[in-house]
Structure 1
Amino acid sequence: MKKLLVFILAMFFVVSAFSFKAIMVTDTGGLGDKSFNDGTWAGIQRAGEDLGIETQVIQSYEQADYISNLTKAAQEIQKEPDGGIVYAVGFMMTDALFQVAQQFPDVYFAGIDIAPPTEDVPPNVICFLFKEQESAFLVGYIAAATTRTGKVGFIGGIPIPPVERFRYGFEIGVKVYNDLHGRNVEILKGYTNAFSDPKKGKDLALSQFAGGVDIIFHASGACGNGIIEAAKEKMVSLVGKEDLATILDYAYSNGGYFAIGVDVDQDYMAPGIVLASAMKGVDTASYLGVKWAYEGNWMPGIHKLGLKENGVRMSPMKYTKGLVTNDTLAELAYLVTLIKNGILVIPETEESLKSFKTPKIAFPF
């Protein structure tokens, strides 16, 4: 019995001697944005639970924190007997990530929405990029089909490449709907020039609503919380109540004011008022990076995820699907197959946006 106890204790110390840690460094939006950072952290936490490893998050309060926080995270990983991985979240961390990664070649680094500044990607770095324009196309088409005023809005945060790709896709979704249905839905565009100021988002949303917009798609991080709040206030003022059944009854007959979420499924934030969400699999990417590093299946370089790779998608519209016609949903499903097959290519640059022409599309129904 004594020998068995000694053996068990010995095995415990052997197992505990090996540890692997995943550390996420947020951008300035931080945890609680109900969007980009929260989605990435959810994937890392899920990996931690599945693999039985420790996870940690380090908050960045300003851009000046990026290098010091990534350095601190890398130093923490070096203390682990079995190593680990550091996540840098957001395009704004690009320079900091590659600067710090070069100083710690024995530490795995992963970037979400971070493209390498040169073609040479260090062997300890993996970059996850997304075809945001493809999920944004879906909600753009939905917005154009659903608007009662003929005017929809886009509010971006800082106009960095991922945000702009959301805008390109949204614009093309509206354009394709207009071209296929002979409509002239307009888009009002604006930027908060921040990601962590809900008040700026709310103020800009109220301005767009006052200008005749009835649906706003945001790609603005935590600023979007204010945009959703603005839509809710406007809708409740029309309806007089905020329970879901009353809102949906009113909206079905009269329309109203709606927001469209981003990055993760934000429909729950204001049921019946968040029409849909343009999602990208930041949680999937963060989960995979941890898993690949832990299991020794590391694949450095760029991994670009779109509809075909199930890396972007639209929310299932749990509360609002009844506000969209069956014809529109069927059309959208067909358009998704065209995108996956490369027949309908959604622009990812300003130049391709300007030159885009809607191809001849005949729905098989």
Structure 2
Amino acid sequence: MKKVLSMMLVLAFVVSSFALTVTMVSDTGGLGDKSFNDGTWAGVLRAKDELKANVKVLISKEQTDYVTNLSNAAKESDVVIAVGFMMTSALFDVAPQFPRTKFIGIDIAPSQGTTIPSNVALYLFKEQESAFLVGYLSASMTKTGKLGFIGGIEIPPVKRFEFGYRAGIKAYNEIHNKNVEAILGYAGGFGDVAKGKQMAMAQFAQGADIIFHAAGATGNGAFDAAKEKGLSFYGLDANATLKDIIDKYYEKGRGYFAVGVDSDQDYLAPGFGLASAMKRVDTAAFLGIKSSRSARSFKSGVHTLGLKENGVDISPMKYTKGMVSNSTFAELAYLSSLIKQGQVNVPDSEDGLASFDVTSVKFPF
């Protein structure tokens, strides 16, 4: 018995001694953005729980912090998580200097002709696919015929959200012979909640009744605006219950909504957060860390996750599901299946959007 116990203690020591040390380097949105950074951190915490990894985070307050934070993280970590497209140059500068450290880039894509170091795995997403679903949903729900979009900075992943959203609206228009319009705006940053609210209020004033944001913490202001505008429209105070809100929605026949991004943000304004276009950065972070446990399982290069790979999705709509018709949910499910099968290819560019056509889609119900 003593020998068995000794062996178990030795084994436990060996396992703990090989626990991965993981450091996440945030972008300038930092933790608490309720979006991209928080989602990635959730994946890191999952690795802590399931893989017994030792984890920490370094917050980048400015873009000039990226190189320093990545370098400091690499000096003391087995795995470094680099978060966000804006960190691309810094990651490709730092990673070759630390060949024994694995680097996981979230939403980081190499520029054309760039060789990806053997210790770097990049995870990209088909943001346009989840955005397509919330665009179609929003088009089905609008009572004004106008929808809003607020982007942070015009970088590739944000533009893919925009194109997917517009494609969803276009698909709804073609299938249902409607003319829903989109009002587009960019905030120029990801960390200004007040500006996000100001932009949302301006789009509501222009006639939009639903606004999708892809703007990090800036976009959280859209939820503040939707709640403020909605409560005023319903004649309710800040203490109104979800039941009060839903009852007023049916009484008035319309409302004001925000649509979240990256993670399930519906809880930010229950009853006013229609849905969220989820990008499973948590899944990507966890998979990247898990693969880093051995040279055999770690695969450098680019890994792209879409609906088919469960890398993007629409939120469960915990608070607003009862406001949406069963026919709309059925249409979304069918369109989602077509996307997964490759029969509908959601565009990720302006040219692709211009030629996007779903007039051949016929629902089997």
TM-score, normalising length from structure 1? 0.94
CA distance in 2, matches of 1:4, 1:326: 60
Please tell me the root mean square deviation across aligned C-alpha atoms, in Å: 1.8
Q: Are 2:145 and 1:147 aligned?
A: no
Question: What is the correspondence of 1:249-288 to structure 2 with a 5 Å cutoff?
Answer: 249-253=247-251, 254-288=253-287
Does the 8 Å CA contact 1:35/1:264 hold for their aligned counterparts? Answer: yes
C-alpha distance after superposition, 1:74-128 (max 9, x if no partner): 0112xxxxxx110100000000001100111111001010011235211100000
CA shift, 1:342, in A, is 1.2
What is the match of residue 196 of structure 1?
191
Question: What is the correspondence of 1:157-196 to structure 2 with a 5 Å cutoff?
Answer: 157-196=152-191
Identify if the C-alpha distance between structure 1 residues 3 and 217 changes in structure 2 by more than 3 Å, giving closer, same or farther. Answer: closer
CA shift, 1:249, in A, is 1.2
Question: What is the correspondence of 1:76-225 to structure 2 with a 5 Å cutoff?
Answer: 76-77=76-77, 84-117=78-111, 118-225=113-220
Does the 8 Å CA contact 2:81/2:106 hold for their aligned counterparts? Answer: yes
Q: Tell me the amino acid that sits aligned with residue 106 of structure 1.
A: R
CA shift, 1:14, in A, is 4.8
The number of equivalent residue pairs is 359
CA distance in 2, matches of 1:125, 1:139: 32
Identify if the C-alpha distance between structure 1 residues 228 and 11 changes in structure 2 by more than 3 Å, giving closer, same or farther. Answer: same
Does the 8 Å CA contact 1:277/1:314 hold for their aligned counterparts? Answer: yes
Identify if the C-alpha distance between structure 1 residues 104 and 151 changes in structure 2 by more than 3 Å, giving closer, same or farther. Answer: same
Does the 8 Å CA contact 1:152/1:185 hold for their aligned counterparts? Answer: yes
Does the 8 Å CA contact 1:133/1:166 hold for their aligned counterparts? Answer: yes
CA distance in 2, matches of 1:159, 1:307: 23
What is the match of residue 331 of structure 1?
331
C-alpha distance after superposition, 1:186-213 (max 9, x if no partner): 1000011100110110010010111111
CA shift, 1:17, in A, is 3.9
Identify if the C-alpha distance between structure 1 residues 273 and 298 changes in structure 2 by more than 3 Å, giving closer, same or farther. Answer: same
CA distance in 2, matches of 1:175, 1:259: 19
Does the 8 Å CA contact 2:175/2:359 hold for their aligned counterparts? Answer: no
What is the match of residue 26 of structure 2?
26
Identify if the C-alpha distance between structure 1 residues 268 and 4 changes in structure 2 by more than 3 Å, giving closer, same or farther. Answer: same
% identical equivalent positions: 58
Unaligned runs of 5+ in 2: none
Unaligned runs of 5+ in 1: 78-83
Identify if the C-alpha distance between structure 1 residues 249 and 299 changes in structure 2 by more than 3 Å, giving closer, same or farther. Answer: same
CA shift, 1:355, in A, is 2.4
CA distance in 1, matches of 2:344, 2:258: 26
